[in-house]
Amino acid sequence: MNTSQEIQVTPHRGRGVIARYREFLPVSDSTPIVSLGEGGTPLISSPRLSAIVGRGCEVHLKYEGLNPTCSFKDRGMTVAVSKAVEGGTLAVICASTGNTSASAAAYAARAGIRCAVVLPAGKIASGKLLQAFAYGAKVVAIEGNFDDALRIVRRLGARDDFAIVNSINPDRIAGQKTAAFEIVDDLGDAPDLHLLPLGNAGNISAYWAGYREYRDAGNSTRSPAMIGFEAAGAAPMFHGRVVENPETIASAIRIGNPASWETADRAVRDSHGAIDIVTDDEILAAQQWLATQEGIFVEPASAAPIAGLFKCCEPARSPAYSFAQIPEGSRIVCTVTGHGLKDPEVMMDRVMKLTAVAPNEEAVLRAIGF
C-alpha cells in the first residue's frame, strides 16, 4: 500500500495549458493566446483512500480547484476564448450551472471582449455567481433550468455576434484534454481507473480523448477505464433517458439532458468503464470526509467521484463498477473538479451555529472541549 503523502507538483504550474501542450491543441502562430496560467494542478496521493480500496491500490486526486477561477473549466476556456479572439469575435456567451460562467467571464475580461452568461435563476452557488459579476459579465437569470438555458444559448450562438463557449464548442473539449496529459506526465503512464463527476458529460469525453491521443503519440502504454458519477436526482445517462426536472444539492451537475451524451457513452463503452449514481447524502458525506481526512475542500459535485469510490468498494451495494474485480496494485485517479469555497451555502448551517463565548482562557478551553 502506498502510504506516502506524495504530491506531484509539476514544474509547469502557472505556464498555461496552451504553452505546455501546444502541439495537441488547435492553435497556430497567429492565435492570440488568452491565458491566466491555468493547468499544472497538483496530483495528490491519498493514503487514506488507498487504504480503503486496499490490495496495494493507489488513489490520487487531481485537484482542479487550484485553477485560476477555481475549477477545471479554465483549461477549456483558454483555448475557446483564444480561438474566439482569433476569429474576430467580440462577445462570448454560455449557459451554465456556475463554473463555466465564472471561467468564461474571467477569460473574456482577460481578452478584452464582452461576455454574457445565461443561468438558471436561484440555482447557482453564490461563489460562482459572485465571480461572474466580479469579472464584469452580463448576467441573465432565466426562470428555467440549465437545459433550458443551453437551448436558448444554442439559438443565440447561431447569430454572428456571439461565440458559444459551452462544451459543445470543440475548443473547450480540446483544452480540457490537457488534464489527462498532465496525469500521464506525473504518473509516468496512464492510470488503470479514472473517476469523475458527470454533468453535461463534456469532461469525461475530454479526458478519454486526451488519454487516447497521448497513448497514440507514444506517451503512455494504456488508457484507463472511465467511470462517471451522476447525482441520483439528475441521472439521465444512468437511466438512459432525459430527466425533465433534475434535482441535486450538487448544483454544478444538476443537468437533465447532457450535451455530450453520445461521446461520453462511447468513452465509457470503449474504455470498459461505467456510469453510476450517488445520492445527495453520499455526496455531502464524501465532501466532508475529504475535507476533514485529507484537507481538500471541494464543492459538492466534485465529491461525487469520492462518494462513488466508496460505493465501488462495497460489493453489497451492487456498484456499476465493483473494485472487487480490479487487479492488485491498480492506480486510480479521481478528478475533484471545483473548489469548496464556490458553494458556501452547503456548509452555512454549521457555520451559523457558532456562538461567541466569554473572552477568557477558561471559556475558550471549555468551548474547544478536547
Q: How many CB atoms are closer than 10 A to CB 77?
A: 37
Nearer to ligand AN7, 46 or 99 (CB): 99
Nearest-angstrom CA–CA distance, 22 and 161: 28
Using CB under 6 A as the binding rule, whether residue 99 contacts ligand AN7 is answered as yes
Q: Which stretch binds ligand AN7 (CB under 6 A): 90-98, 152-160, 186-194, 216-224?
A: 90-98
Q: Least distance to ligand AN7 from the beta carbon of 30, Å?
A: 29
Looking at the Cβ atoms of 57 and 230, the one nearer to ligand AN7 is 230
Pick one of 45, 78, 100, 178: the residue that binds ligand AN7 (CB under 6 A): 100
Min dist CB 56 to ligand AN7, Å, is 29
- Binding residue (CB under 6 A) for ligand AN7 from 68, 305, 338, 340: 338
CA distance 78 to 57: 34
Distances (CA, A) of 231 to 129, 250, 346: 22, 7, 16
The set of cell numbers assigned to 47 is: 493514503
CB of 232 to ligand AN7, least distance (A): 15
Task: Report 209-268 residues binding ligand AN7 (CB under 6 A).
Answer: 252-253
Per rule CB under 6 A, count of chain residues that contact ligand AN7: 21
- Interface residues for ligand AN7 in 69-88 (CB under 6 A)? 71
Q: Among the residues of the chain, which ranges form H helices?
A: 17-21, 47-53, 73-86, 99-111, 126-134, 146-157, 170-176, 178-187, 202-216, 236-239, 261-270, 280-294, 300-312, 345-352, 361-368
Distance from C-alpha of 148 to C-alpha of 121, rounded to nearest angstrom: 11
Binding part of the chain for ligand AN7, among 96-104, 239-247, 278-286, 310-318 by CB under 6 A, reads 96-104
Residues of span 143-162 touching ligand AN7 by CB under 6 A: none
Residues near ligand AN7 (CB under 6 A): 71, 96-100, 167, 197-203, 252-253, 299, 301-302, 337-338
